[in-house]
Amino acid sequence: MTDKMNHSSNEPEVETTEPLHFLSKVEASAIETELLRDYRFGQQQLIEIWGYACAIAITKAFPLKSISKKQPTVLVVCGPEQNGSVGLVCARHLRIFEYEPTIYYPKRSSHSVHQDFTVQCEKMDIPFLSYLPTEVQLINDAYNLVIDATLGPESDPKDIKEPYSSILVTLKQVKIPIASVDVPLGWDADEADKEGISPEVLISLVAPKKCATNFSGKHFLAGRFLPYDIQKKYELNLPEFPETECLIEL
Amino acid sequence: MTDKMNHSSNEPEVETTEPLHFLSKVEASAIETELLRDYRFGQQQLIEIWGYACAIAITKAFPLKSISKKQPTVLVVCGPEQNGSVGLVCARHLRIFEYEPTIYYPKRSSHSVHQDFTVQCEKMDIPFLSYLPTEVQLINDAYNLVIDATLGPESDPKDIKEPYSSILVTLKQVKIPIASVDVPLGWDADEADKEGISPEVLISLVAPKKCATNFSGKHFLAGRFLPYDIQKKYELNLPEFPETECLIEL
């Protein structure tokens, strides 16, 4: 046996004395690199963890019983990179939780990890829209909410290209609530942007980004798996997650 | 838009009229092949889903507050294949949930997916035992329970080789409770075996195997992600999972 068999202390998960740290783009990218390279987390694994936690967040913010329309429809708008795949996983779990997600995924990634998540949704008969209606009332009427899993912290809001610039115009006009994953469409991860959309719900992954500092809506931190050493190194000062919850409302 | 935009019906998740189906080895293998090949689930993704659900099962069967020893120690015995990696993921999540897992993983897989899960545990400072004490009292004294993530449905109990035959002898003598993942060590997936261990808790993955038909301990079905078409095709008749729970006690 190793001499580690008898543990001498139970390392605390949380340090509550310091305020929550809001990550810059650079820090967010560094943490992800470290998780993938040093801790050998897989991209597929992280996307599954995050997408599942996003689905749980949606069930808390919009419980089935509170849904006003007859059908619990949800429109999930997915971007071309990792954030989009988180949206795909979220849609798949929402389907399992008896919601009725519909996916709009205009630019599909050529990476096999993203393609696999797409097939999983297709094979579960989750409908994919071939285009997003420009008539906003159609969206308001058809869905209870929109999940914005469009662009992540890596994107530059000053350089949003089609089809995302048109999606931004549309989503700025919808009247149903929007829940954004990590960074709302049109925002810069380092600062909130009034040119972007105005989500009612924000689901931060790993830790909230700087842009979320003054976010006044419902704000979840999703995905409870971060190694303690990473939490310490980046002084994240994450709050204590209740019991076995995979997310926490900030 | 597709004509699927307006859903006409909400497909029920559950059919409660028929009894739960207990899978044969052949069926269990066929379902897994279908998930990987047709639904394009990744092995890494499935292991993460199952390991997480196993950790949640342990927190339900052995809540931190009910743990009798001063430290919430758990011994996780991991086999060489997929079942062992489910144990590694379970240990990692238990650590996040403030338990103190220790891993015994005598034969490490050479596959990168399994190696990655190992590194994740090592980097989170979860101790690995270099050998299992043959003096059973040491195990009874050091740990609150043992998680048996040793051999899966593919193994033949009549052909258990070292080191697992010795582990079997040891685990048959321990007095602390054992929680087995999918198929208890020494059992055949198609029938319970008195020559095997006697777990207090069984955590079935996908669906229970035939060997669990008359299991009298605490029995969980873990991992709520199975596409409806698979549930139908194999007539699984899974029970209804409560709300957003990732497992259910059978």
- pLDDT tens-digit series, residues A155-199: 888 889 999 999 999 999 999 999 999 999 999 999 877 789 999
**What is the band of A7 on the pLDDT scale with cuts at 50, 70, 90?**
very low
pLDDT of residue A105: 98
What letter represents residue B236's amino acid? L
Q: Which of B175, B169, B171 is nearest to B141 (CA)?
A: B175
CA distance A247 to A205: 10
What letter represents residue A232's amino acid? K
- Cβ-Cβ contacts under 8 Å, B55 against chain A: 244
Q: Which residue has the higher pLDDT, A17 or A218?
A: A218
Both tokens of residue B233? 């095709």
Instruction: Give the residue on A whose Cα is nearest the Cα of B241.
Output: A97
CA distance A119 to B247: 24
A103-162 pLDDT, tens digit each: 999 999 999 999 999 999 999 999 999 999 989 999 999 999 999 999 988 888 888 999
Distance from CA of A41 to the nearest CA of B (A): 7
Query: For every one of its 250 residues, what pLDDT tens digit does chain B have, with 9 covering 90 and above?
Result: 444 444 444 455 554 578 999 999 999 999 999 999 999 999 999 999 999 999 999 999 999 999 999 999 999 999 999 999 999 999 999 999 999 999 999 999 999 999 999 999 999 999 999 999 989 999 999 999 999 999 988 888 888 999 999 999 999 999 999 999 999 999 999 987 778 999 999 999 999 999 999 999 999 999 899 999 999 999 999 999 999 999 999 9
Nearest to A44 among B13, B45, B92 (CB): B45
CA distance B40 to B35: 6
3-state helix, strand, coil in chain A (%, to 5): 35, 15, 50
Nearest to B40 among A93, A120, A244 (CB): A120
CB contact under 8 A, B44 and A42: yes
Is the confidence at residue A16, as pLDDT, over 60? Answer: no
- Cβ-Cβ contacts under 8 Å, B2 against chain A: 127-130
Both tokens of residue B180? 């087995």
CA distance B102 to B29: 30
| Contact status, residue B189 vs residue B199, Cβ threshold 8 Å | no
pLDDT of residue B65: 95
Query: Cβ of A123 under 8 Å from any chain B Cβ?
Result: yes
**What is the band of A2 on the pLDDT scale with cuts at 50, 70, 90?**
very low
ipTM of the complex: 0.90
DSSP letters of A45-109?
HHHHHHHHHHHHHHHHHS-GGG--SSS-EEEEEE-SSHHHHHHHHHHHHHHHTT-EEEEE-SS--
CB interface of B with A, residues 37-76, below 8 Å: 38-42, 44-45, 48-49, 52, 55-56, 59, 71-73
pTM for the model stands at: 0.92
A243: left (phi > 0), else alpha (psi -120 to 50), else beta?
left
A78-107 pLDDT, tens digit each: 999 999 999 999 999 999 999 999 999 999
pLDDT of residue B80: 95
pLDDT of residue B16: 53
Q: Walk me through the domains of chain A, giving residue ranges and CATH numbers.
A: 18-249 (3.40.50.10260)
